[in-house]
Amino acid sequence: MTEPQPAAEKRFKGIAVSPGIIIGKARVVDRSKVKIFYRYLVDDVHVAREQERFALALRATEEQLVRLKNGMPEHVKEHSFILDSYLMILKDNMLCDATARRIVEEKINAEWAIKKSLQEIRDIFSQIDDEYISNRIHDVENVTERVLRNLSGQPQESLSEVRERVIIVAHDLSPADTTELNVSKVMGFVTDLGGRTSHTAIMAQALEIPGVVGLAQATKEIRDGDLLIVDGNAGEVLVNPDDGLIIEYQEKQVQVAKYKSAIARTSHLPAETLDGHRVRIMANIEFLEEVTAVREYGGEGIGLYRTEFLYLKNPQLPDEEELFEDYRDVAELVAPDVLILRTLDLGGDKFMADLEITREMNPALGLRAIRFCLKEPEIFETQLRAILRAGAYGNVQVMFPMISGLQEVLEAKAILEKVKGELEAQGLPHDPDMKVGAMIEIPSAVTVADILAQHVDFFSIGTNDLIQYALAIDRINGDVSYLYEPFHPAILRMIRQVLEAAGAAGIDVSLCGEMAGDPLCVPVLLGLGLETLSMNARSIPLIKTIIRSLSMEDARKDAEEVGRLTTADEVRGYMVDRVRGLFPDMDEGGALPFWGVG
């Protein structure tokens, strides 16, 4: 007779947003949207009253948000910017002024008017081909929801009132909901909706409570009081597991805790291989507030500052002073380490609400990044002025995204020189000798890397796009994501080619795509010759641990070995065995999936 296998009543797979394993009781909370059934026209006499109602709802929402912000636990205060961004949305022209105008012009009730404004903003955001940015629409939706609740007087259960140790199960949680979570009671959360880059995910990580989002049916299938296992590493939720499964996961918990503390203890040690080769580990950021976390995780500077965020915060373009102040603050915080500012990488003019939107058939192949900047030199010059000026306050370098060939580098550099001349003439402090880099993320740039290397000070390999363009896979299309493979031999060969071209010209190379933070890829990247990797800050401690467990000699052998393999599956299989072999005790403890290995 065969032994019965441990089982659970139901299993769900979602998106892991905050690591850790928890076992506890479900508490299903209703965060459903306010139902607005009534839309009505208001006559002239009542328009003023409707506007007043709207103004009162805005004020009440503002007071609630300020209260929430002031009541945030001390250790997550650094994330209060989430609530600040809500407060800014509350004052946003497109949401609030437009709604107030609509009430008058269209003579409709406030609820209907704000819903129409929200739809208009949604339409604009839906044109933006960037997961992080388009996810920000959820912030606008959350604020709108709060205003609607205040308009309708429908109260919402406060999560701060949760009294027992439970796992929250909700359709969706807004970042503000997350700030209400009582972390001494709430063990973790699972939601139907949500994405990897949401602010809710950021908050959950800061609170260090495990979370899985994007489960679709969780609130339908899980009942209050069900026993749950939430695996925030693998993105799995098990409902009413049997004893065998509970014991299995308890063992995993012990292993994970053990390895987590071991990794954290060493995160400030240098990333140095067993045979003494030093690797520089930098971080990718999207906004200023992340710099503190970079330091905490042991990052050595910023290898990629994605500067799009400031352009999308408001419907109007940011001015030079706003950009300069932000870049200067980051540069000062990071100094003496390097800050690499990437110039604007947005598709077309999609982000400018006040311009006519042109929808491109193929946005990834359209007027993106440097192409857009060269077509709109004024916007580009403003950003370059701010970058050069920030250079007077730290160790700043600039790099251009989506370079397809030399012509773009020459044109971008010519504009940079022109701007330098103007700053000089105006007597404004700036860095006249700022290093200039090119992102290598289009296959044509790989092919002509030897030519480009003669004209820039460094390369940064953007594998996220390089994989997309080399393998012809839309990186945001779920249907082809199974083909999105960093271990494709073509990608490994391209990285090697870029390193050879840079080596021959004597310029620096870093790699800043997601591959840099992938434990399976790191030995190969080192073996190929990369000495700088830039990644999401949270990956830093783990990647440092991997590097500290490797010898460079073996990493080179790995690179050679995988260079002979002919399919991505073979490479992956080889690397899984290899990384398992590096940490045999961890492999036995079953904690390797914690690292996304095997």
Task: Return the structure tokens found at 399.
Answer: 């790099």
Does 463 interact with ligand PEP (rule: CB under 6 A)? yes
* Residue in 32, 71, 125 with CA at minimum distance from that of residue 352: 125
Among 9-17, 422-430, 458-466, 572-580, the segment contacting ligand PEP (CB under 6 A)? 458-466
Distance (Å, whole) CA 167 – CA 229: 9
Q: Which of 462, 517, 529, 541 binds ligand PEP (CB under 6 A)?
A: 462
Site residues (CB under 6 A) for ligand PEP, limited to 316-355? 345
Among 69-77, 461-469, 540-548, 565-573, the segment contacting ligand PEP (CB under 6 A)? 461-469
Query: Crossing angle, helix 377-390 and helix 320-334, to 10 degrees?
Result: 30
Sheet holding 236-241, edge to edge: 8-13, 236-241, 227-231, 21-28, 166-170, 186-191, 211-213, 15-18
Q: Pick one of ligand PEP, Mg ion, none as the site partner of residue 330 (Cβ within 5 to 8 A by kind).
A: none
Q: Where are the alpha helices (DSSP H) in 110-190?
A: 110-125, 131-135, 137-152, 175-180
**Gyration radius of the chain's alpha carbons:** 25
Does 465 interact with ligand PEP (rule: CB under 6 A)? yes
Among 209-217, 460-468, 515-523, 576-584, the segment contacting Mg ion (CB under 5 A)? 460-468
Q: Which of 348, 462, 523, 529 binds Mg ion (CB under 5 A)?
A: 462
Site residues (CB under 6 A) for ligand PEP, limited to 270-309? 304, 306
Does 486 interact with Mg ion (rule: CB under 5 A)? no
Q: Pick one of ligand PEP, Mg ion, none as the site partner of residue 109 (Cβ within 5 to 8 A by kind).
A: none
Q: Which of 203, 238, 352, 512 binds ligand PEP (CB under 6 A)?
A: 512
Is residue 285 left, alpha or beta, with left meaning phi > 0 and alpha meaning psi from -120 to 50? beta
* Residue in 462, 380, 446 with CA at minimum distance from that of residue 413: 380
Distance (Å, whole) CA 370 – CA 407: 11
Does 465 interact with Mg ion (rule: CB under 5 A)? yes
Residue-wise over 372-397: b if at least 16 C-beta within 10 A, else e?
A: bbbebeebbbbbbbbbbbbbbbbbbb
Residue closer to Mg ion (CB basis): 93 or 464: 464
* Residue in 141, 198, 226, 187 with CA at minimum distance from that of residue 21: 187
Does 513 interact with ligand PEP (rule: CB under 6 A)? yes
Q: Could you tell me the smallest distance in angstroms from the CB atom of residue 259 to ligand PEP?
A: 28
Site residues (CB under 6 A) for ligand PEP, limited to 413-442? 441
Q: Where are the alpha helices (DSSP H) in 214-290?
A: 218-221, 243-265
Q: Pick one of Mg ion, ligand PEP, none as the site partner of residue 512 (Cβ within 5 to 8 A by kind).
A: ligand PEP
- List, by residue number, the catalytic residues: 199, 512
Q: Pick one of Mg ion, ligand PEP, none as the site partner of residue 463 (Cβ within 5 to 8 A by kind).
A: ligand PEP
Site for ligand PEP, rule CB under 6 A? 304, 306, 345, 441, 462-465, 512-513
- State the residues that interact with Mg ion by CB under 5 A: 441, 462, 465
